[in-house]
Structure 1
Amino acid sequence: MEIMELISQVLLGLFSIYVMYQFVRSLRLVPNQYAFIVERLGNYHKTLGPGFHALVPFIDKVEYKQDLREETIEVEPQECFTRDNVKVEVDGVIYLSVVDPVNASYGITNYRYAAVQLAQTTTRSVLGNMDLDQTFEERAAMSREVVKVLSEVEQVWGIKVHRYEIKNIVTPRTVQKAMERQMTAERDRRATIAKSEGVKGSKVNDAEGTKAQIINISEAEMQRRINEAEGYAEEILSIAEATAKSIEEVADALAQPKGTEAMKLQLSEKYLETLSGLGRDENRVILPKDISNYEALMEGLSLKDLEKQKSS
């Protein structure tokens, strides 16, 4: 009897401890950015948000704990083939968060694993439609395509895919060497083109400079000739005006009383000065043909010069 009582007391103690444990478990403190899924007798009952909550012992149970923060999921490297049959190894990162804790708990068994698998299959499909050169240029397009495919199951899985980034695209060593040779040849081609364009530009600049110099010289010569012609024209005009004015003054003087006698006297003086000058230079004396008729000679000379002046 003592043994039975002892066993019953032990069982009662264990039951009491279990009951106390269940009561303690029914009191839940939910952290911030978390959601607890509560089931009542095996069925979904409610979702607990951040804060303190009291559940019904033995009936309510927290079945799932969902983290609502954005999380990073690594996509393991996988081998893919491009459209030109080149094998590449691609890996990436998915950034997603839970927006519907209920669907994330009951809509799929493991949304993380499912998102990774869907991202890998989509990446293989996209790379199969691209050449190797395009894979390095169209990373953003591949990322957008993966996000687009994942967005089709967001509502069912209760998640939100924010972005997908491709980390590395690794090609075989032989392909890398071929690409390096191709890039080297492309750089050499660009350097040759740049050098030829520089030489071309230099020759064009030299030709334009020579052309500008010739034009400047010709314009300067043309301007010099124009200036000389204008100066010569002004000189001729000034001489003509002075000559006309002097002729007018001579004509006015001849029209005055005793004007003709004064002109004769002036011409006689000029005639004598000319004769004396010629004789002085050559050490000889020059006399007129008929020196005895000096007055007639002077009168004839005066009349001839006067007629010349009037005719001019």
Structure 2
Amino acid sequence: MLFGVVVLFFIGVIILILVSGIRIIQPYQQGLWILLGQYRGRLNPGFNWVIPLVSNVIKLDLRTQVLEIPKQEVITKDNSPTNVDAVIYIKVVDPEKAYFEVTNYRMATIALAQTTLRSVIGDMELDEVLYNRDLINNRLRDILDKSTDAWGVRVEAVEIREVDPVGPVKAAMEEQTSAERRRRAAILLADGNKRSAILEAEGAKQSMILKAEGSRQSKILEAEGTRVSSILQAQGQAQSLRLISLGAVPLDKKALTVLSLDTLSKMSNGQATKIIFPFEISKLVEQSAKYLGASEEKVPEVGAEMDVERLVGKPEDVLGKIPNPDELRAEVASIESQLKKDLEDTAKTTKDLKKLGAEKPSEFMDKK
């Protein structure tokens, strides 16, 4: 009975020893088998059995790993203290080197990244650090990848996470930014005032031109109307005098005496206290007496056979060319046509000025 128990005990111990030699390697891992202090080879993912009790299996993760570089204060080339931190993405590509060539490849990579980051940023000014993060990332990745290649580690990417200048530097940067914005605002305001003054001057100039043009056209039309009116009035007076002269030629002395007496009667009916006669009153009385038969001497007929054209002249010579209604309408239409053309020229000039005022702001912006 006791013997059977001992046998079962030894069998159990043997089974446990054999089971302890089983090693399960995950798909994303790589195993390193060390037997009695000697490297025996890699263990692939899956089921593996090694000699128990004297074997040591090291499992290394082959996935991409994320390492954080702690925030540290770095002095830039222009002596501006700045707090910088970053993130590194690494991957083990050679498990043997990652385990046998370096004690802890993660800590070694972080320490190397810290020193490299200080060196790279120390060669750059603060403005370059703020605006050239891609350049810093690429330089850090190249330097770290070259250095960690001996450890079997590949640096896939480096990303600067935060660049935070210290308090006094940040205050100076904010003051500089504020001053730059005020300078730009002053420049824009001055440029706007300049363009406004130019446009106002152009508008005033064009307004004066249009007023002068309108005044000129108005004076021309007024003068033309006055000229036509004067011509028509003179021609009307000439026609009236022509008719009077033609009507007065056949009158004899008797008729003139009757007309004179009739004019004297009309003058006596007026309210004027003084009457001035433009002829000799004795002649008038004498002519009236002869007309009433006081004298036997006959009054000869006057102008019965007088040549009117010889005394007065031809109507064309006296009156000049009298325009008929059709000619007057044609002249008025010509004046209206010229006025319409002048108005169209004025409207075109105004349109060109507006177009010039709309194009000038963009030209100033391009020049700027």
- Please give the alpha-carbon distance, in whole angstroms, between the structure 1 residues aligned to 2:47 and 2:249: 147
- Please give the alpha-carbon distance, in whole angstroms, between the structure 2 residues aligned to 1:126 and 1:95: 18
Match for 2:98: what amino acid?
Answer: A
Give the structure 1 partner of residue 109 of structure 2: 115
Match of 2:63, SS state, is: coil
Shift of 1:144: 1.8
Shift of 1:149: 0.3
Matched, 1:133 2:127: yes
Match of 1:294, SS state, is: coil
Shift of 1:45: 1.3
- Please give the alpha-carbon distance, in whole angstroms, between the structure 1 residues aligned to 2:303 and 2:212: 66
Give the structure 1 partner of residue 22 of structure 2: 27
* Correspondence for 2:246 among 259, 268, 271: 271
The structure-2 alpha-carbon separation of the partners of 1:297 and 1:208, relative to structure 1 and needing over 3 Å to count, comes to: closer
Shift of 1:111: 1.8
Aligned residues: 263
Match for 1:98: what amino acid?
Answer: V
The structure-2 alpha-carbon separation of the partners of 1:300 and 1:116, relative to structure 1 and needing over 3 Å to count, comes to: same
- Please give the alpha-carbon distance, in whole angstroms, between the structure 2 residues aligned to 1:274 and 1:192: 93
Match of 1:66, SS state, is: strand
What do residues 247-282 of structure 1 show as CA deviations (whole Å, max 9, x unaligned)?
A: xxxxxxxxxxxxxxxxxxxx9998117999xx79x9
- Please give the alpha-carbon distance, in whole angstroms, between the structure 2 residues aligned to 1:72 and 1:124: 20
Matched, 1:190 2:199: no
* Correspondence for 2:155 among 155, 161, 183: 161
The structure-2 alpha-carbon separation of the partners of 1:180 and 1:296, relative to structure 1 and needing over 3 Å to count, comes to: closer
Shift of 1:306: 7.8
Report if the CA contact (8 A) 1:39-1:46 is conserved.
Answer: no
- Please give the alpha-carbon distance, in whole angstroms, between the structure 1 residues aligned to 2:199 and 2:117: 53
Shift of 1:16: 4.9
- Please give the alpha-carbon distance, in whole angstroms, between the structure 2 residues aligned to 1:268 and 1:199: 74
Give the structure 2 partner of residue 38 of structure 1: 33
Shift of 1:87: 3.2
Question: Where in structure 2 are there 5+ consecutive unaligned residues?
Answer: 229-241, 252-258, 265-278, 280-299, 322-368
Match for 2:27: what amino acid?
Answer: N
Report if the CA contact (8 A) 1:37-1:48 is conserved.
Answer: no
* Correspondence for 1:298 among 302, 308, 311: 308
What do residues 229-250 of structure 1 show as CA deviations (whole Å, max 9, x unaligned)?
A: xx99xx9xxxxxxxxxxxxxxx
- Please give the alpha-carbon distance, in whole angstroms, between the structure 2 residues aligned to 1:81 and 1:135: 11
Match of 1:296, SS state, is: coil
Q: TM-score, normalised by structure 2?
A: 0.56
Question: Where in structure 1 are there 5+ consecutive unaligned residues?
Answer: 236-266
Match for 1:43: what amino acid?
Answer: Y
Match of 1:77, SS state, is: strand
Match for 1:272: what amino acid?
Answer: G
Match of 2:103, SS state, is: coil
Report if the CA contact (8 A) 2:20-2:52 is conserved.
Answer: no
Give the structure 1 partner of residue 268 of structure 2: none
- Please give the alpha-carbon distance, in whole angstroms, between the structure 1 residues aligned to 2:158 and 2:83: 17
Give the structure 2 partner of residue 180 of structure 1: 174
The two structures, once aligned, show a CA RMSD in angstroms of: 4.5
- Please give the alpha-carbon distance, in whole angstroms, between the structure 2 residues aligned to 1:268 and 1:202: 69
Q: TM-score, normalised by structure 1?
A: 0.64
* Correspondence for 1:102 among 89, 93, 96: 96
- Please give the alpha-carbon distance, in whole angstroms, between the structure 1 residues aligned to 2:136 and 2:185: 33
Report if the CA contact (8 A) 2:25-2:48 is conserved.
Answer: no
Report if the CA contact (8 A) 1:35-1:66 is conserved.
Answer: yes
* Correspondence for 1:93 among 81, 87, 108: 87
The structure-2 alpha-carbon separation of the partners of 1:296 and 1:195, relative to structure 1 and needing over 3 Å to count, comes to: closer
- Please give the alpha-carbon distance, in whole angstroms, between the structure 2 residues aligned to 1:71 and 1:15: 44
The structure-2 alpha-carbon separation of the partners of 1:127 and 1:307, relative to structure 1 and needing over 3 Å to count, comes to: closer
Shift of 1:147: 0.7
